[in-house]
Structure 1
């Protein structure tokens, strides 16, 4: 069960009207502020407040987490939760699963599984994924557990405060141990689901670092971090270097595999309401790459 009240204490540098404090200091969006105001459940020192009067140092502000109908529809599935607080959830997504439903008839996405978890644990909230992973990419996905943490985590993602690190097995041996790919990415006019490096595309920056080489197999394990979050960014960038991801037929891999070898391995998330952050790891799946390469110890 979730605590349904958020509590904040005003410091001497935050002597603002309540409306401004909740919007600018806490980060609650305007639309949700209106809902909170209409609910008449926001209290200052356990009393109904004046929303335009400046707050005083030491004031206690109580903000309700308003209940919502759970959506999308709940599906009972075995999801692997790797970290949880009352504000957020990190789930290790399997390859082959969509992050969210692709249609009204789709009940097998990870979000449907999270909805079932919410339902079973008394969490009355929409399922909000803060970012997403491609269908065949496995690994850590961050979900917010209520509207306020969702808005704050969305903003932190935009500000690049949420850090994601990926592992990929790529073809060939990299000529440099580390580097940065700064190439814009746009849609491929000849293929609806494909992206490509394009001078007219959106800015895309990927940093790579070689973890291990497999010279006999002509494969390299690389660690990657992103400054931007374009669709298929890692897949496009590694292919553009002549090192497509193992098993990624769409971007030029010569190997057939049941998935391509890309995994969201590490996730660093700031706490939505405190000056601290957590780092979690999603275990590398055993069928990440070819059977002769053992990565489970990572």
Structure 2
């Protein structure tokens, strides 16, 4: 694990032995995948030091034990209006926060005046803690999908976590209750997903759509109710991906009226149960388990 600490607005990372010879430019551009605009800003504002001294040569080879210091915790506008909502926090540190999102809540505002979203609740929490920084969701859940959602607390953490998500280093596991008795014990759905031309919000399997991969595993079947409980993992994050793929298989989510489910619940039976994240700076593995029983009567089937 990489040793780090915070002092005021500054973050300090002690260079590990396997980073010997790396330059600051290499760490930011290639290791952390920071955007060019962000790197330029840090360079111009002199937000980087080495062992307490302002950085002069961005291509200088660093030594193991050198202290890389970055000004990451400066105050800035939240980006959304802080508004109180009762939401469970699963994990939090200086760089990121994970919530257990309830049903009937958007991940972020769709209009400037919307204040009943998870992002508004996240901003309120930071404000209450005296942290004035722009918070950014790393991934989203549908309004009626519950469970673990990851937010970054500053731009560099956001850039690193975005890259990790794209490279499939962040693992997301979902529980889904579907109609029908699923016969396959496990499998992978590789079907591209695109917009449905006949419906504003619906997606569908389409040869011209974006690549989408969903892995599933049967947990249990309920013959009397003609339902199956399955676990899903995503390699991609398309809008409505699990809902579209399972409906395409002939097993729509219970309660998901948009994709052929029956109204036995007041929303689709889908819950983001687990989020596994390599920490963006320490590389420590963070595992968050979202308790589904808080939100779902359907989890009594489990």
Query: Which TM-score bucket, shorter chain as reference?
Result: over 0.9
Q: Offset of 1:285 from its aligned partner?
A: 3.2
Aligned to 2:219: 211
Asked if structure 1 preserves the Cα contact closer than 8 Å seen for 2:203 and 2:244, the reply is yes
Q: Could you tell which deviates more after superposition, 59-68 or 124-133? A: 59-68
Which among 39, 42, 50 is matched to residue 45 of structure 2?
A: 39
**Residue pair 2:146, 2:295 contacting (<8 A) in 1 also:** no
The 5 A counterparts of 1:97-246 are 97-246=105-254
Q: CA deviation at 1:102?
A: 0.8
After TM superposition, the score normalised by the length of structure 2 is 0.91
Separation of aligned partners in 2, 1:294 and 1:12: 48
Q: Distance in 2 between matches of 1:281 and 1:195?
A: 28
Rounded to whole Å, the distance in 1 between the matches of 2:19 and 2:218 is 46
* Distance in 1 separating the partners of 2:81 and 2:42: 26
TM-score by length of structure 1 reads 0.92
2:10 alignment counterpart: 5
Tell me how far 1:8 sits from its aligned partner: 2.5
Q: Report if the CA contact (8 A) 1:14-1:21 is conserved.
A: no
1:62 to 66, 69, 87: 69
- Cα drift, residue 24 of structure 1: 2.4
| 1:16 CA displacement | 4.3
User: 1:53–1:254: structure 2 CA closer, same or farther, 3 Å change rule?
Assistant: closer
Distance of 1:134 and 1:259 partners within structure 2: 11
Task: Give the secondary-structure state (helix, strand or coil) at the position aligned to 1:255.
Answer: coil
Q: Which runs of 5+ in 2 are unaligned?
A: 1-5
Distance 1:55-1:124 versus aligned 2 partners, 3 A rule: farther
Structure 1, residues 63-103: CA drift from partner, whole Å, max 9, x if none? 11133212201001211101112211110001110000010
CA distance in 1, matches of 2:262, 2:59: 66
CA distance in 1: counterparts of 2:271 and 2:18, whole angstroms: 45
**1:50-89 to 2 correspondence within 5 Å?**
50-57=56-63, 58-65=65-72, 66-89=74-97
